[in-house]
Structures are given as C-alpha cells and as structure tokens.
Amino acid sequence: MALGKHALAHLTGADFDCLNDPERLSKAFQRTVSHFNLDALYEPQIHQFTPQGLTGIILLAESHISIHTWPENGEAAVDVFTCGGRESRMIAEFFCTAIDNAHLDITVVER
C-alpha cells in the first residue's frame, strides 16, 4: 500500500516574468491551498535569487508543494507530495496553471 503520491512536474515555455515574480508564486500557493482545502502548516517560503530565479515551498499537513524556477530558460520544476488520498496530479496541474499556462509534463510516483 502506497503512503502517498508524488507528482513531479516540469513546466516549459513559461514567461520569464511569471517565473520570476515572488508575489505571483505566493498567490499560486495560496490559491492552490484554498482550492483543494489543504492544511498549510506555515505561510509559503520563497527565496528570490540574483539575477533571477525563485525557490519556494509550502509545508502541508498532507505533505508539501515546492518549486524551483529558471526564468531565463522558461522552465520550472514542481514537486507535489500528498498523502491521505489527495490527488497530487490535479494539485500540480492547478498550481502550475496559476503560475503560467505553459507546457506541462507530469509524472506521478507512488511512495
């Protein structure tokens, strides 16, 4: 029996500004938590790199959502790990679309 599902998402072809805006990323975390009625343990933590790029995470009672962006390449790596029967793929799709409606590849691994 699996403990949870881990969605590994790769966003490509995204807009530079969308992947380099900490406020947009914070809102994406908040919208996702609200939409799926997830239990956030803390506020999203976001770090902005110089000259560009973001890393962000939100810890959930259900596990976590994290992102690492490379705006100069139009790419982002997103992890959504969920337990308790939550659908990690749907959460990853929603979160990524809240950032930019770019091309998205998702692989889900049972853990």
Question: Domain map of the chain by residue range?
Answer: 4-110
Is 63 designated active site?
yes
How far is the C-alpha of 53 from the C-alpha of 86, rounded, in Å?
A: 29
The reply to whether the predicted model has a pTM over 0.85 is yes
Burial (Cβ within 10 Å: 0-12, 13-18, ≥19) of residue 106: middle
Catalytic residue among 6, 63, 88, 96: 63
Is 10 designated active site?
no
**Domain 4-110, what architecture?**
4-Layer Sandwich (3.60)
pLDDT given for residue 84 in this prediction? 80
pLDDT given for residue 81 in this prediction? 97
pLDDT per position as a tens digit, 67-98: 999 999 999 999 999 998 889 999 999 999 99
pLDDT given for residue 86 in this prediction? 84
Is 96 designated active site?
no
pLDDT per position as a tens digit, 29-44: 999 999 999 999 999 9
Catalytic residue among 83, 88, 96, 103: 83
